[in-house]
Chains A and B, each alone.
Chain A
Amino acid sequence: MTQQTAPAVVEMTGISVEFPPVRALDGVDFRLRPGEIHALMGENGAGKSTLIKALTGIHSPTAGTILVDGVERRFTGPADARAHGVSTVYQEVNLCENLTVAENIMLGAEPRLLGGLHWPAMRRQAASHLERMGLSIDPSSSLGSHSLAVQQLVAICRATVSDCKVLILDEPTSSLDTDEVAHLFTVMRALRDDGVAILFVSHFLDQIYEVSDRMTVLRNGALVGEYATADLPAAELVQHMIGRSMEVLEAAEEVVEHAERPAAATPLLQVVGLGRKGSVQPFDLDLYEGEVVGLAGLLGSGRTELARLLTGADRADVGQTRVSGQTTRLRTPRAAMGHGIAYTSEDRKGEGVVDGLTVRENIVLALQARRGWMRPLPRKQVDELVASYIQQLGIRPADPEALLRNLSGGNQQKVLLARWLATAPQLLVLDEPTRGIDVGAKAEIQKLVADLAAEGMSVVFISAELEEVLRISHRIAVMRDRRKVAEIDGGRATMDQVVDLIAGGGTA
């Protein structure tokens, strides 16, 4: 390691955290110095979140010591941590949308006047905090009126209000576009130059390389090592993270084979002029067996809305749906399931996982719901089914009785996939199945999608990551402003071509 200028502001030694029977962290050391941006790297379930939560007092370590500014600390919770200069900004914005920007920024540090709140001072101080970060946001506007990106920046601004020595940013960029990320990085660098120690978690490797000075890599709850970013090439980093070579990733690169489909084939699902007021303009789409159709478009372009109409999650008010040539109406998800159509929502937490139930229960949920409550699946069959999916998809921990809320995001996503695969669908609509999960799991899911299509399943694949859509789709439907604007051959499409279509320049 190179010479260390400043003593560490956070020094964690031998940290272990257990959720019996799972050992989430096993004797991990971690050091954070003032004036550095330190990336915490690892796959889903590697223990990144657990380490952060151990630091901020949400989890209490079963072993190890935590020194903050040389003093041993066990924070009782995020508020206590914050009072000692350790602030956290989470992936999901934890602010009050119904309050103003100023109120959100100053919450907990409100200027007082005669026992009440000093409103003018609050606005003034909030404005100066915003200005310091180079943000031009009206402090008296309501937070809910801003985009998620702005809310994220406000959350960071809020974290720097109290005397902040350590700023933890857990996946702050997952919902931001390129310009917003650039702005965030400017803010981060300014804070770093002020001497703040920043702990940064992101799944985007290019971002890590762009902004971080140093990184700590975790794998399966154990420390792999600490590196200076400049000394560690990306390929090596990925190897450290997944503990295996890039083969899996490369395998996923070449998944698509462009076999010509028979000209006379009937589409599995054919929709004509399907639409819904205020949601998505009428569109046509044919889906064939053995084919992956990618949906590309910006957030809010109607990708999700289209998927929801295809799968009965929302009811269409115009248009026709034909399943294998038969005209039907998919009024509910249940009706769609009856036709072998499965849909996983982009909102994993809100519309996907049932976090208080076990892995086993989550996997059999859709299958059991289809059979009805009176015909329970025999326990033996359930156990075999669940064991086979845990093994096939590599769900960890490999414990059918683990509560789903104790699984990492990527593993929760795999459980959701298992839930739908168990129903043996003909058409699988995946809305952002790889969002917020790590490289390894992402590659596994892409590979799985390709394999499923090769076995004859029809797949609709939605992702904000264009590369991913290009890589695995046979055909790509492009969405813009709640309309389907083009449909292109996935094999011949180039990135630039799709970007043009999304931006409104090109023609189909």
Chain B
Amino acid sequence: MTKLLRHHLFWPVAALVVLLVANTVARPSFLAITVRDGHLFGAPIDILRTTAPLLLVALGMTLVIATRGIDLSVGAVVAVSGAVALSHLASSPNPDSPVTVLTAVGLALALCLVLGVWNGFLVSVLGIQPIIATLILMTAGRGVAMLITGGMITTVNSGPFKTLGSGFWLGLPVAAVIAFGVFAVVAFVVRRTALGMLLEATGINPAASRLSGVRSKTLTWTVYTASGLFAGLAGLLISADTMAADANNAGLFIELDAILAVVIGGTALSGGKFNLSGTLVGALVIATLERTVTVLGISPLVTPLFMALVVIVVTLLQSPRMRERLASATRRPTPPSEPQPAARPDSTEVKAR
């Protein structure tokens, strides 16, 4: 029991189960999945679909946080991505042609990659604190998106593009297939190569890593680039769902949701050890929570408060101190106390050499 309690995924999974149970109690058919036109339908499938963009953003965020950084610009990058793709489709004479759609997707991803490179440059080469460096693009990015859309909400019709957001593949939502697929590939690469360990070493002790020959700068640059790319992909999924590019509201606050997903998943903002499976559960918890609000019929007036309460409880349960207390409550004698707080600079501080 204690072992289970101490497992890093215990509390996030427990939160997810509690939410699902609450939903099922309120609406007994909640977990039912039906087949319609060869596609799967039902609330759980919907949750998977709405999780998709958040999962992609949180994936990049986890890697960035592992290096002691943070990427606040992802929401703006989501907006830029949607703006680029839809503007290209809107200006094209033939938005339904696969070539046009592929070009739109390619353009959007390429620009987002460049934005990620920009963030990485500021952090790893110029040594600007990540929170400041990405704050620049967080505000400037929406301006860029605004320029691209000309200040209008661009709407278009493009069958192939729409498939990205609301289509189905083998009965599953395309968006979910893409996001979970990318997530699985990245998680596999990170843990099967030495990338994960080197990222963690960089996050825990950058100076020691440098002296050990770890290319910390390159790694840091890479994770910001990846974060930009994943946010761009998320932007495509979001804009394909609504088929509208809204420079002001697309991906609004998604950076905060992503940070939350990472924290709920058990990765500390102070960097170092990270936990992709936790992030996956964290993203599912947040998407399920949003769904729960509608299922339980909670008034929109108190929705933010309700969500905040749930988040507080989950993050509290995830905190090392709370876990230790709970574990010692279930077991005597007392487990070892936390290791001493290692003298470590603030999580957002990155020193330039």
Residues of A at under 8 Å CB distance from B? 17-20, 58-60, 62-63, 313, 332-334, 337, 343, 345, 349-357, 361, 365-366, 368-377, 403, 405-406, 419
Contact = CB atoms under 8 A, between A and B. Distances in A.
Contacts of A352: 208, 211
A334 B213 CA distance: 4
A432 B50 CA distance: 56
Contacts of A60: 334, 336-337
Interface residues of B, number: 31
Contacts of B337: 58-60
B209 A365 contact: yes
Contact of B214 (A62, A350, A369): A369
B208 to A, nearest CB: 5
| Residue of B204, B211, B335 most packed against chain A (CB within 10 A) | B211
Contacts of A419: 212
Interface in B172-210: 192-195, 197-198, 200-201, 204-205, 207-210
Closest 3 CB pairs of A and B: A369-B213, A369-B214, A62-B333
Contact of B336 (A59, A334, A366, A371): A59
A333 B209 CA distance: 10
B195 A373 contact: yes
B272 interface: yes
A351 B192 contact: no
Contact of A373 (B194, B335, B340): B194
A58 B337 CA distance: 7
Contacts of B204: 354-357
B207 A369 contact: no
B342 interface: yes
Nearest to B205: A354
Nearest to B211: A333
B194 A353 contact: no
A406 B213 CA distance: 24
B333 A370 contact: no
Contact of A366 (B200, B212, B272, B342): B212
Given A356-B273, A377-B194, A334 B340 contact: no
Interface in B296-349: 333-337, 339-340, 342-343
A19 B340 CA distance: 13
A357 B201 contact: yes
Nearest to B271: A356
Interface in B198-246: 198, 200-201, 204-205, 207-215, 219
A368 B198 contact: yes
B225 to A, nearest CB: 15
A286 B343 CA distance: 38
A19 B333 CA distance: 12
A405 B204 CA distance: 12
Contacts of A349: 343
Given A354-B208, A357-B201, A373-B193, A63 B333 contact: yes
B192 to A, nearest CB: 7
A453 B208 CA distance: 25
B330 to A, nearest CB: 15
A351 B210 CA distance: 9
Contacts of A17: 336
B213 A366 contact: yes
A19 B336 contact: yes
B164 to A, nearest CB: 30
Contacts of B342: 355-356, 405
B201 A405 contact: no
A374 B198 CA distance: 11
B192 A376 contact: yes
A20 B211 contact: no
Contact of A406 (B207, B211, B339): B339
A219 to B, nearest CB: 21
A351 B207 contact: yes
B213 A337 contact: yes
Given A19-B336, A60-B337, A333-B212, A365 B197 contact: yes
Nearest to B197: A361
| Residue of B194, B195, B212, B272 most packed against chain A (CB within 10 A) | B212
Contacts of B200: 354, 356-357, 361
A351 B336 contact: no
| Residue of A19, A20, A333, A354 most packed against chain B (CB within 10 A) | A354
Nearest to A403: B339
A332 B209 CA distance: 12
A414 B200 CA distance: 21
B208 A376 contact: no
B207 A62 contact: no
B306 to A, nearest CB: 35
A412 B9 CA distance: 30
A252 B335 CA distance: 41
Nearest to B195: A373
| Residue of B197, B198, B337 most packed against chain A (CB within 10 A) | B197
A374 B212 CA distance: 17
B194 to A, nearest CB: 4
B333 A345 contact: no
Nearest to B216: A369
Contacts of B198: 365, 368-369, 373
A371 B333 CA distance: 45
A333 B214 CA distance: 9
Nearest to A17: B336
A366 B212 CA distance: 5
11 contacts: A20-B336, A60-B337, A333-B210, A351-B205, A352-B208, A357-B197, A361-B200, A361-B201, A365-B209, A365-B212, A377-B194
A365 B201 contact: yes
Interface in B97-111: none
B201 A351 contact: no
Given A368-B197, A368-B198, A355 B205 contact: yes
Contacts of B201: 354, 357, 361, 365
A58 B340 contact: yes
B193 A374 contact: yes
A353 B205 contact: yes
B229 to A, nearest CB: 18
